[in-house]
Each structure stands twice: as C-alpha cells, then as structure tokens.
Structure 1
Amino acid sequence: MVNTEIARRLQINEKLTAEVLTAFIREEVEKAGFQKVVFGLSGGIDSALVAYLAVRALGSERCHAVMMPYTTSNPKSLSDAQAVVDDLGLQALVVPISAPVDAFFAAMDERLGVPATPLRRGNRMARERMSTLFDLSAHFSALVLGTSNKTELLLGYGTQFGDLASALNPIGDLYKSQVRQLSRYLGVPQSILEKPPSADLWQDQTDEKELGFTYEFADEVLYQLVDLRCSVDDLIRQGYDAATLQAIVRRVERNQYKRKPPIIAKLSSRTVGVDFRYLRDWGQ
C-alpha cells in the first residue's frame, strides 16, 4: 500500500537540505583539523549523492573518490561511478579488491574445510573497501565520509566496520526516498537515479530482493514507527501487513548494536563513553 500523506511528509526542502548538509561537511571536516575528504564511489545513488555534497562543500580539489571493484562487480557500476567523477572533476583512484579478498578466502577455506558463504564474502569485501579508505585517509590526510542512509542504518542493512564505518556521515538522516529526491535536485546522472539499489557484492544482487520489501515501503513504515512514534498496532489498523511490519521491527531491534560504539565494561569513576564524554573536536 502507498500512504500518500506519509509520502508527502517524507518530501524535503531540497535547497535547504543541500545547504545544511554542505555546511555540515565543511564545518565538521575543518573543526577536526582536516581540509580534505575521501569516500568510496560505488556507482550507486548514495555514494553519488555524497560526492555531489562533498564537492559543493569543499570543492573538487579537496575530495578524493575511490572506486573499488571486485571480480563479480557489474561493469556498469564502474562506468556510472566514472560518470560522477567526470561530471564533478573529482580526483579519483580505482583500487580493485579482488586479490586481497580472494587471497584471504583461499587460505581460510582451506583451514576451515568449507567454502565461505556469500554473506562472509560480502562482509569481507565491505571491510576490505573500508580498510582501503582508511589507509588512503592517512595518505591524503583526509576524513572518511560515510554513504549509508537512514533506511539502511535502521534496518541494519550494512556491514559493521565495513560500509557502516566512517568519520562523518552526511546522509545518515535521509531516508532512501529522500536520497533520491536530493540526488535529482543536485544533478546526479540519470543512469544512477534509475538503477535498482545494490551493494554489488555478487551477481544479480539487489537490496530489495534481499530485504524482501521495497525501500519505498520501508521508508513509509520506518518514518511512522521512528519519526512519528506510531505503534505496530497503529499501522496494522491502517491496513499494513502484520508479518511484514514485524519483520521490519525485528530488523531495527536486533541491529541496534551496529548503530552503537563498542560497549565498555565500567570499573572506574570515569569511563570512556559513559561519564567521560566530550564533543568530537574537544582539545582541537
């Protein structure tokens, strides 16, 4: 079902949102003592939007895009990422991750006696990509920008210390439908706007096929559950399928650990993250 009122309320003021997010990037990067950013550019809409925001905030000369294909990656992903690089005049690197990922599993499969599952391989790819970004972060003296949207963060649809890791995330409070809206406004290439969302971890993989529901549906439900604080019973009374609602709620609840920093056992009077807490730019 499509709730037209909720769809209307999910609409954003594109101009204001773009201004807020570009100011966020500029101010947070410079407050932390940096001048540059680095980010993965997958050919998907989320990383493309981050690229357009980063260039608006800092200029193309201060933004480093990294494309990290694997053997099974769709060639269209690389060409779409290149279209963003060309449009924005980005400084870009192509760093294939096939060799390190395959070397790891060649050794690990032999030790464990079983081949790695697609989940393990996908997680390794995501972490290899983020490891590459943080290495280049040190090389370029640049902060790593995250590219996970609010829908993905709530559903836990991402890899801990992989694509969910970053120093700053400018789009983490935008639902997927809002990412699409802002991307159109900022001029993200049409080929990216129209393609099915995919982490591109294996052939024919799409986000919505894995999740079992569309992002449009997830946004509609999550906005009501999270932002409007509606209950599941409220949504059932509106006509939403109870089983699908419960599946979404379970994902949000069981993936809370991915949205939190590591838990530290408290022993002293002042514990990091508990009662020793300061702003991220404290001491700068």
Structure 2
Amino acid sequence: MITVSPKSRQPLRKAWTRERLLYERSLALSFALDTSSKASYSSALNSYLTFCSLHTFPVEPTEETFSFYITFMSAHIEPRSVDSYLSGICSELEVYYPNVRQVRQSHLVARTLRGCKRRFSKPISRAQPISKTDIETVHKDLSRSDLHDDILFLSLLLTGFYALMRLGELIWPDNNDLCQYRKVSTRDTVHHNHSGYDFVLAAHKADAFYEGATYLATKGVSPELIRRTGRWSSSAWEAYVREHPVLLQSIVFSGHSTNSPA
C-alpha cells in the first residue's frame, strides 16, 4: 500500500461525502462545454434522433447505424458538416453509450465518411483576407462620422484586425441564451497610453482565425509571435498555415519557419 510521505505537508481538509463528490463533479462536467457548443451538439443529436425515428432504427449507436446516417445526411448537406455532427452526437450519447467513440472511429464509419466526402463535398470557397488597403478605405470613410454605429464598427474592425481577435470576442450574440457576462471585457480594464490602448480579454471560445494574421506575416512578423498573439495551439496554427496559401507564401518569403521553437 502506498502511504503519504511523513515529510509531506498536506493541508488539513474535511472529507466530502460521496453525495457531495457526485454533486460537485456534475457541476464540473456541466461547465466542460461552452454554451454555444452545447447548443450545436444538441442540434446534431436531434438530427441523429430524427434519422433513427424516420428509418425505425434503434437509437443505440452501431457501426451500421452511423454508416447509414452518414450516407443519408451527406446526400442533403455538406459531408464536412456531417463529420462535425458526429462529434456532437458522440458527446451527447457518451453518457448513455460509453462505446460510442469506438463506433465513431470504426473502419466502416471512417470509410463511409471518407467516401461521402469524395462523392458529395464541394470545394471550399474563401473570401480574400482583409488587407491594409481595406482597413484604410474603411477608416477614410468612417473616421469623420459622428454616428455611434460608424464609430463602433470602425473600433471593432481596427481592434479585431490588429489584435487578432475572434469575432465572438468583439460582439454580443443575438441569441440571449448564448450571452455570458464572463466573456465580456469590461471598460474598467481599458488603459490608454501614447502608443495605443489595451484591455483584459475575458475567457472565450470562438473562431480563432482572423485575417490580421496574413497582414502580420507580410510585414515579417515571426509565425511564433503571430501564433501566440492569436492564441492558437501549435496544431491549429500549422493547419491554418497549410490551408491559407497567401499566409504561407508571406511566411516563406519573409525567411521564417512555420514551426514553433522546440
């Protein structure tokens, strides 16, 4: 039996009852997903339940049911969206069917999804990244305006572009159920100085890829600094660079490497 070292200075804490442990763990699990993610996952689960009801399949996930679901849904929506739906379905059903992720990763399910992507997927169409010229054009048109909405829009655009902020960090959701004050940067955290301003960015989960990254890359800013400024994980940053040829070209011509330092 492993015992606590006699030299260890552990603080004295009162033991919790099992009921208290279960209750506190339930609270912790309820905070594991962001509210917006919960809404998306619930929508995905409803899609799966509707499919099962329509075809009189049992709800319990099996390789065959998931494979049929992928085939059916891919004929109606983008298969890449079906892939995202499966993540939400697994998250929602895991409590009731612990093996659901093994089913999701099975050979049949994976090959069905891969085949549907090749059969139904359409090329991704991306807008051109926002350029410094675009910013200057908007600034020229709105900087002299006295209208509150014009000033607000210009402030959001400049702040989001140069600070690599997510759209969800700049605006308030239309859906009241998704509004959370813990994500709001309060005005008392704003500080002005001769060179600019700063504020405390509250906790947030949203789309990390704002186009200011491309502009910084064209100016020779190192990829590692861009990654840290944008608050991306190394894997997400590498994927973003691979999928955006303009950004990759800017990094290559600046003489930097896309890899993070060891």
What TM-score, normalized by structure 2, do the two folds share?
A: 0.26
What TM-score, normalized by structure 1, do the two folds share?
A: 0.24
RCO higher in 1 or 2 (8 Å CA, sep ≥ 6)? 1
Q: Larger Cα Rg: Structure 1 or Structure 2? A: 2
